[in-house]
Amino acid sequence: MSGGAWIGEFIAGAIYLIVGIRLARFASRTGERPERLLSGMFVFSGASYLLYAVPLVISIEALWTPFNFAGRVTYLPAPILIALFTREVFRRQSRFSTCMVYATSVLLVVGVGGSAMVGDWEGFTLGNPFFWFEWVGYTLPFAWAGLEAFAQYRSSLRRQRLGLCDRIVCNRLLLWGCFGVVQVVLAFVLLEMYADFEANNSFSAFFDGLTGALEIVTIALVWLVFFPPHFYQKLISGSDVSESSVEES
């Protein structure tokens, strides 16, 4: 990445860590498994982003490969946790959902491990067949999460008309579906970025900017899902409702 791209990477990592920590505190009060799974996902994602940002901040070429590989390994649990979360919330008794969790885990381990064995420590080489195992492994669970959320959103709209579903909850499903979609779009943008890097041995400023913009959208969606500001809750619910967000302990 070039220019000030590290700023977006660093901010996204910091916010993901904050979200993960706040969710962990919330989960310690509720004892609910979904909150714990999401907490872990955001903590691992945040730590990974910060590791990727280190060589961009310090600008020491020798740090590039070790910190990029550390970022890849640290991120590895995040898609697995999002798959576990989707299974827990939307399809707890489904054999298909269990297969999705195992498939995600195998794809990521084979992808990262295989890339390391052939010397592709940074994971930017599209010609490396193990790259595609890893790419599918971190794209598939977010696509699945988005589809499940949108499906539940459609059902919740019908229940909302009957007064059986809170508007904030319904909106949260919509936002979570959008979060999954943005993550998938980001994965495809990264494909183009890596292809451009292979061709020119440098990252495109355009794709850097597009990645940063998508990260901003992702951050906004995450914040609105878990910590919606008072005015947003009032806008969605049409009344003075604030207790549906994740409260601080």
Query: What's 192's DSSP letter?
Result: H
Q: What is the pLDDT of residue 158?
A: 76
The pair phi, psi for residue 14, each rounded to 5°, is: -65, -45
Q: Considering only the C-alpha atoms of the chain, give the largest distance between any 2 of them, rounded to a whole number of Å.
A: 61
Q: What is the pLDDT of residue 248?
A: 47
Tell me how far CA of residue 92 lies from CA of 71, 96, 200, in angstroms. Answer: 30, 10, 46
Q: What is the pLDDT of residue 92?
A: 86
CA dist 239 and 219 (Å) reads 25
- Amino acid present at 228: P
Q: Under a CB-based contact definition with an 8 Å cutoff, are residues 158 and 203 in contact?
A: no
C-alpha atoms less than 13 angstroms from C-alpha of 78 in its C-beta half-sphere: 24
The total of other beta-carbon atoms located within 10 Å of residue 118's CB is 12
Residue with tokens 């008794």: 93
Residue with tokens 């977006």: 8
Cα distance between the two ends of the chain = 37
pLDDT bracket for residue 249 (50, 70, 90): very low
pTM here?
0.87
- Give the chain's domains with CATH numbers: 5-237 (1.20.1070)
Q: pLDDT averaged over the chain?
A: 86
pLDDT in tens, 78-125: 999 999 999 999 988 889 999 999 999 999 999 999 999 999 988 888
- Assess whether pLDDT exceeds 50 at residue 241: no
Residue with tokens 């970025």: 193
- The answer to whether the Cα torsion of 182, 188, 190, 193 is positive or negative is negative
> Where do runs of H (alpha helix) occur along the chain?
5-30, 33-58, 61-75, 77-90, 95-117, 129-161, 167-200, 205-226, 230-237
- Amino acid present at 165: C
Q: What percent of the chain has pLDDT over 90?
A: 48
CA 239-230-145 angle, to 5 degrees, is 95
Chain CA centroid to CA 192, Å: 19
Q: What is the pLDDT of residue 106?
A: 97
Q: Under a CB-based contact definition with an 8 Å cutoff, are residues 77 and 44 in contact?
A: yes
- Amino acid present at 245: S
pLDDT in tens, 155-180: 888 777 766 678 888 999 999 999 99
- Assess whether pLDDT exceeds 80 at residue 147: yes
CA dist 76 and 149 (Å) reads 23
Q: What is the pLDDT of residue 162?
A: 66
pLDDT in tens, 180-202: 999 999 999 988 888 887 777 77
